[in-house]
């Protein structure tokens, strides 16, 4: 493909990404993969170039753009070499015209930028939400140790005790250590959230929103494979992906429970008041993960934010019923919005005045209300809110 044809291809890819974002369809990664599946003429260099252009345009446009071309025109407005490729050549984009519609820049749609600013995320902190995430690994303490593991490349040690950082795109999934379960891909912030649970061997720990078990596996390692670890989720497909991962990681003591939304307490009634710790890695807006899914900010609506915050509050109350006296509940969201962080923790403490907030020493993050917030700008992790709440 010529450089101009790559630009036109990125415009078409962006049209598909925008349509998917408007219709709550597939993620940008999936849309891009599908687009190339039907265009076999594109080589690997073409794919990389088109993908990079499309993602640069996604990151550059705050609100959802009117079209792929408007998004690319916005990118070209700050890049003369890119603007020159609007040359009308065969397969290339038509030349730019006067008053050509140009998409708006910025960090996110205006309402969302305002909510972030009100939560203390503006300027560098807001821009960092759209950076590129590095690749973080967790050495699986059930099978290896960071101090002695032998990997094809040397990683940078992270604040999390088993965490190592590599450059974006490092092919770790091809490494023998990945295939035999000695390492897992996990953001450093996510590792710190697991550390905050303080899980110990022999304890009863419930991972209430386990998904495919990213955090469950870290809890299993902290528990050295001893005790009870119950991984729950309402999404059957996600939860079913945990078993093969647990097998590879040597974490075969994990139990799983599929929950019915709204009837979680019933499915967990036998565990009421028994858990040493409950982790709620709650469904959230995902504002802390835009480095990986920058088009997610085009999908979020105020109604969706209200929906997930209501679920978070309900799950906090469900989890409180599972914790033993003196036990702990760790509330985590990958969001920087106070509505999904400090405000949730404060509202929980107001509803449960006998409970107390726990202080952490995680080696990263800054205090936000009753919890700690990890911020991509200051902590170089995904954005997270983490609160520890201790039962009377």
Ligand X SMILES: C[S@@+](CC[C@H](N)C(=O)[O-])C[C@H]1O[C@@H](n2cnc3c(N)ncnc32)[C@H](O)[C@@H]1O
Which residues carry a binding-site annotation for S-adenosyl-L-methionine? 233, 260, 281
Binding-site size for ligand X (CB under 6 A) equals 19
Nearest-CB residue for ligand X: 214
Find where tokens 């702990």 sit. Answer: 328
Rounded Cα distance, 72 and 58, in Å: 9
Judged by CB under 6 A, the stretch of 47-55, 87-95, 110-118, 232-240 that binds ligand X is: 232-240
**Nearest approach, Cβ of 318 to ligand X (angstroms)?**
8
Q: Is 79 exposed, middle or buried (0-12, 13-18, 19+ CB in 10 A)?
A: middle
With residue 379 as reference, give the H or E element that holds it: helix 376-379
Counting every residue written for the chain, the total comes to: 392
Minimum CB distance to ligand X smaller for 114 or for 310: 310
Smallest separation, CB 232 to ligand X (Å): 6
If one asks whether residue 358 binds ligand X (CB under 6 A), the answer comes out as: no
Q: Which is nearer to ligand X, 113 or 233 (CB)?
A: 233
Residue closer to ligand X, measured from CB, 102 or 281: 281
CA distance 384 to 337: 9
Which value, in Å, is the radius of gyration of the alpha carbons in the chain?
22
Which of 388, 304, 391, 327 is closest to 353 using CA atoms? 391
- Shortest Å, Cβ 282 to ligand X: 6
Kindly identify the residues of this chain, within the stretch 282-311, that bind ligand X according to CB under 6 A: 283, 311
In this chain, which of 138, 215, 299, 368 binds ligand X, going by CB under 6 A? 215
Taking CB under 6 A as the binding criterion, the range among 28-36, 52-60, 212-220, 340-348 that sits at the site for ligand X is 212-220
Between the alpha carbon of residue 132 and those of residues 19, 80, 161, 291, the distances in Å are 24, 23, 23, 5
Q: Pick from 120, 62, 158: which is nearest to 381 by CA? A: 158
Q: Which of 31, 259, 277, 322 binds ligand X (CB under 6 A)?
A: 259
Residue of 308, 389, 309 lying closest to 343 (CA atoms)? 309
Token pair belonging to 63: 């609100």
Nearer to ligand X, 214 or 294 (CB): 214
Looking at 34-42, 114-122, 227-235, 374-382, which segment touches ligand X (CB under 6 A)? 227-235
Catalytic annotation present for 284: no
Report the catalytic residues.
Answer: 334
**Binding-site ranges for ligand X (CB under 6 A):** 208-212, 214-215, 232-235, 238, 259, 261, 264, 281, 283, 311, 315
């Amino acid at each position: 493909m010529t450089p101009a044809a790559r630009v036109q291809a990125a415009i078409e890819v962006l049209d598909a990404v925008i349509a998917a974002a408007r219709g709550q369809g597939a993620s940008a990664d999936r849309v891009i993969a599908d687009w190339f599946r039907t265009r076999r003429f594109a080589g690997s260099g073409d794919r990389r170039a088109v993908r990079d252009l499309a993602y640069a345009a996604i990151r550059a446009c705050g609100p959802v753009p009117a079209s792929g071309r408007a998004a690319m025109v916005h990118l070209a407005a700050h890049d003369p070499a890119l603007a020159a490729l609007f040359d009308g050549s065969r397969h290339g984009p038509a030349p730019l015209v006067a008053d050509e519609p140009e998409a708006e820049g910025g960090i996110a749609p205006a309402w969302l930028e305002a909510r972030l600013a009100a939560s203390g995320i503006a300027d560098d902190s807001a821009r960092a939400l759209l950076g590129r995430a590095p690749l973080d690994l967790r050495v699986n303490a059930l099978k290896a140790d960071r101090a002695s593991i032998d990997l094809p490349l040397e990683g940078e040690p992270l604040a999390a005790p088993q965490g190592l950082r590599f450059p974006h795109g490092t092919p770790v999934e091809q490494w023998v250590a990945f295939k035999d379960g000695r390492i897992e891909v996990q953001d450093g912030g996510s590792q710190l959230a697991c550390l905050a649970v303080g899980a110990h061997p022999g304890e009863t720990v419930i991972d209430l929103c386990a998904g495919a078990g990213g955090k469950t596996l870290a809890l299993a390692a902290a528990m050295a494979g001893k005790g009870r670890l119950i991984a729950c989720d309402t999404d059957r497909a996600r939860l079913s992906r945990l078993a093969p991962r647990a097998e590879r990681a040597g974490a075969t003591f994990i139990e799983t429970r599929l929950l019915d939304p709204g009837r979680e307490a019933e499915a967990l009634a036998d565990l009421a008041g028994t858990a040493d710790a409950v982790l709620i890695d709650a469904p959230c807006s995902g504002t802390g993960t835009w480095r990986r899914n920058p088009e997610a900010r085009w999908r979020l609506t105020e109604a969706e934010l209200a929906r997930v915050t209501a679920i978070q509050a309900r799950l906090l109350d469900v989890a409180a019923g599972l914790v033993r006296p003196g036990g702990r509940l760790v509330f985590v969201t990958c969001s920087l919005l106070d509505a999904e962080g400090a405000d949730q923790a404060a509202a929980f403490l107001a509803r449960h005045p006998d409970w107390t907030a726990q202080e952490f020493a995680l080696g990263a993050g800054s205090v936000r209300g009753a919890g700690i917030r990890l911020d991509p700008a200051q902590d170089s992790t995904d954005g997270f809110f983490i609160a520890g709440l201790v039962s009377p």
